[in-house]
Each structure stands twice: as C-alpha cells, then as structure tokens.
Amino acid sequence: MSDARAEALKDQSMVIQKEMIAEHYERLARAPETGEPVVYTFVPGNLTELIRSFGCLPVLPEINALQSGMRGKSRDYITEAEKHGHSEDVCTYVKCDIGMAMAGNIGPTGTKLPKPDLLLLSYTGCYTFMKWFELLREQYDCPCVFLHVPYQGDGRIEPEHREYMVRQLREQVIPALERISGRRYDEEALRERLRLSVQAEDDLVWVLQSARNRPSPIDAYFGAVYYVGPIFSAFRGTPEGVAYYQALRREVQSRLDAGLGPVAPAGPMNEQKYRLVVEGPPNWTHFREFWQMFADEGAVVVASTYSKVGGTYDFGFRHDPDDPLGTLGDYCAGCYTNHNLPGRIDMLCQYLRDYDADGFLINSVKSCNSFSAGQLMILREVEKRTGLPGGFIESDLVDPRYFSAANIKNRLESYLQMVEARRGGGAREARAS
C-alpha cells in the first residue's frame, strides 16, 4: 500500500494524536531555553495533573521506548545497552531507553530529549522501575523522589493506605516539585486540571464501551493503545487532551451510526467473525503486522487489560477535584498491574461476559514480570470460570528478536479453530450456569 493511501486510511484521531505528540516533543526539545522544568515519570501511577500544575513537562520513558519500537529503532538501542553490560533478561523498555540515551537521547520523533530536573518514581509494584531510575539518577545526577503505592494484595485499598500516599504527596512529592519549579503548590490549579481529566475519562470510557456493539466500532486492544495514549501520558488534565477525546468520541459515534468496524492496518474491519478479550501488552516492533494477523482472521478485540495499565476508568474511577491528593492516591493504586491476581481474573471474566466475547487470548511478553507472572494460572482459572477458550502467545515489548511471526500466526490460527469448534456448545452452557 502506498504511504499516501495508508495515511488516508488512518483515523482522524490518530492524525490529531500524532500532531499532539510531535508538539510535545518539540516543546521538550526547547525546554533548556524556555526553562520549563522536566519531570521523568512512569505511565502506571503517573501524576500528570500535579506535575503540570507546577508548569513542569512530563517525560514517560516507557512511551519513548515503545515509540522507538514502533519506529524500528529499538533493536540498535537494546544492542547498545547489552554491549554495556545490561543482561538479556532485563526488561527491554529499560535497555531501549538506556541505549537511546547512549546514542544522544534523540527521542522517537527526532528531537533531542532534555535532561530531567526530577525523577518522579511512582512505585506501582514493578521493581524494575526502581532499578531503571537508579540508573537514570546516576546518569543525570538529578534529584529523585519516590511515591510508594501499596499493592492491592487483598484486592482493595484501605483508608490507611490512602493516608500513607497522601502524606507522601504532601511531604515529599510536592516539596520536590516546588524546589525544581520555584512555584508554590496551588491546589486550585490542580483541581482545575482534575476537572479536565474527568471530561477526558468520561469520553474514553464511552469509546471503550462502544465495543459492546456488533460490529464493534473499535478494536479495544490494537486500536485502544492509540486511544489511551494521551490520557496515559502527557495530556491528562489538559485542554488538548479534552479536545482529543471529544474528537475521538465523534469519530467512533459516526462509525457506530454507519454500522462500521475499526480501521485495521490494511483497511476497514467490518466483517467480524470473532470477538476476543486480550490480556497483556502488545508487541511494538511488529505492531501493524501483529494487528493485521487478527484482522485477516476477522478477529476484533472487544476488551483488553493492557488498555487499563494507566487507569481502570471503565470500573468507575474518575479523578475527584474535591479531594485532589486523595484521588491521586486512588488513581495510582487502581492501575491494572497494582491489582492482585484474583482481581485480574475477575476483570477478565467480567469483560468476557459484558462484551459477549468468544474467548480470550494472553500475549505473554518476555520483558514484563508485572504482567506475565501468573498468566498461566489466570488462563486456567478464567477458562474454568467462564467455559470460554483461552489461548497463549508469546512475544516481547520492543525486542524484535522475540517476535516470531510464523509461530504467532500458527498459534492464533489454531486458537481460532478451537473457538470455532467450541462455539455455541460448552461455552454457552458454562455461561448459563
């Protein structure tokens, strides 16, 4: 397909998003001159509204890594990091980021990334986060502040957990932001940003839940990674973020009105033979090829857990402007990988039921223990509880060495044959029981 045709087939929202991202990276590149302070932080548990209320600009290293993966740059970065002693077992987001820094810290859109003025480590259960920022702290010799988010070991957050997070925000995170920005904490400015977050969150949830329709007007895994992009990264609590989600909602509404499916890499996906739920992050180095394998089989994803890694809004959470710091704590604790395994199983079972899916598939990525540990147990348990067939494929986030197209295609085809064979039989009985 020619580039012009591929561009023409793109959703308008993708084009808007591309421009938003490019502008953000350009603003980051100018930060050393404009003096806007730069805060590096992670997607799960990101405190974008708070960061921006101090006039700081967020940088999300995982987003840089996945963008580098999508743009074919991660292989060289990973090789570079491995040459410098980072083991093959290390999460490839980390190696991609370290390799990018070694190669001059040119971001995925081709502009230079500024050094951090602060590393803000919201710890939502991934030990790698700590090691990653230790390396960056050494490299940039800058301050690092730690927000410890308690894991939902018992499946809920207790009042004392919440108080513990609010205390850390007041006593550590806010003073650190005050120091680098030279501004006092302004709670009203934070509230205003949280009001904008709620608008975007409402529209995002509407978009994700549109997949309950037949045909689904969205792909809730491959398409949804674009849809969650702004809200999981630099744009939650911004007018641009609100405008993006309004435009996205209009776009999805018009497909719904016309009875159309989403636009997959090779074209519209209006014929939908299978409705699937997917657990686990996607592979980024072969993202379009991976998506097209599903589209070629007529398999649309109607719900996914990865699209909740930066917030589980579809279960009702919204940022609360009336309780600005408490709500940030709730947000951090509610990110998907901060849920325990029974909670993740419940979520998958609920998706299968609410979205009337034919089955579920796990993409187990080599890099990420936060996601992958326990996935085989999840597979067995969800199958047992729903009677629906589960499938298991393996790849990686941004290391192309772990993407075997033939292998994945084979497994996907056999899985869909199993769905076909079991359709209407045992699964329905189990669902009815």
Residue 235: closest CA among 27, 8, 71: 27
Rounded to a whole number of angstroms, the minimum distance from the CB of residue 91 to ligand SF4 is 3
Nearer to ligand SF4, 366 or 431 (CB): 366
Residue 242 tokens read as: 């609100």
- My answer on whether omega of the bond before 150 falls inside 30° of 0, hence cis, is no
Candidate ranges 202-210, 290-298, 338-346, 362-370; the one touching ligand SF4 (CB under 6 A)? 362-370
* Residues sharing a CB contact under 8 Å with residue 215, sequence separation 6 or more, in sequence order: 259, 260, 261, 269, 270, 271, 272, 300
126-185 residues in contact with ligand SF4 (CB under 6 A) are 126, 128-129
61-90 residues in contact with ligand SF4 (CB under 6 A) are 62
394-423 residues in contact with ligand SF4 (CB under 6 A) are 397
Task: Report if residue 283 touches ligand SF4, rule: CB under 6 A.
Answer: no
Candidate ranges 17-25, 147-155, 219-227, 368-376; the one touching ligand SF4 (CB under 6 A)? 368-376
Nearer to ligand SF4, 33 or 89 (CB): 89
Total residues in contact with ligand SF4, by rule CB under 6 A: 11
Number of H helices, E strands in the chain: 19, 10
Nearer to ligand SF4, 280 or 359 (CB): 280
Calpha distance 352→177 (Å, rounded)? 42
Calpha distance 229→284 (Å, rounded)? 14
Member of 74, 168, 233, 367 binding ligand SF4 (CB under 6 A): 367
Rounded to a whole number of angstroms, the minimum distance from the CB of residue 138 to ligand SF4 is 17
Candidate ranges 49-57, 122-130, 218-226, 424-432; the one touching ligand SF4 (CB under 6 A)? 122-130
Nearer to ligand SF4, 93 or 290 (CB): 93
Query: Length of the chain in residues, anyone?
Result: 433
Task: Report if residue 370 touches ligand SF4, rule: CB under 6 A.
Answer: yes
Nearer to ligand SF4, 40 or 129 (CB): 129
Nearer to ligand SF4, 60 or 388 (CB): 60
Member of 93, 227, 294, 403 binding ligand SF4 (CB under 6 A): 93
Task: Report if residue 369 touches ligand SF4, rule: CB under 6 A.
Answer: yes
Rounded to a whole number of angstroms, the minimum distance from the CB of residue 330 to ligand SF4 is 20
If you search the block for the tokens 């109607």, which residue do you land on? 302
> Residue 233, class by beta-carbon neighbours within 10 Å (0-12 exposed, 13-18 middle, 19+ buried)?
buried
Member of 91, 211, 295, 408 binding ligand SF4 (CB under 6 A): 91
Residue 337 tokens read as: 């990988």
Nearer to ligand SF4, 126 or 224 (CB): 126
Member of 368, 379, 412, 416 binding ligand SF4 (CB under 6 A): 368
Calpha distance 103→101 (Å, rounded)? 5
- Classify 304 as helix, strand or coil: strand
Nearer to ligand SF4, 73 or 95 (CB): 95
Which own/partner contact pairs does 130-138 have at CB distance under 8 Å and 24+ positions apart?
A: 131/94, 132/61, 132/91, 132/93, 132/94, 132/97, 133/40, 135/94, 135/98, 136/40, 136/61, 136/101
- Classify 40 as helix, strand or coil: strand
User: Where do contacts with ligand SF4 occur on this chain (CB under 6 A)?
Assistant: 62, 91, 93, 126, 128-129, 367-370, 397
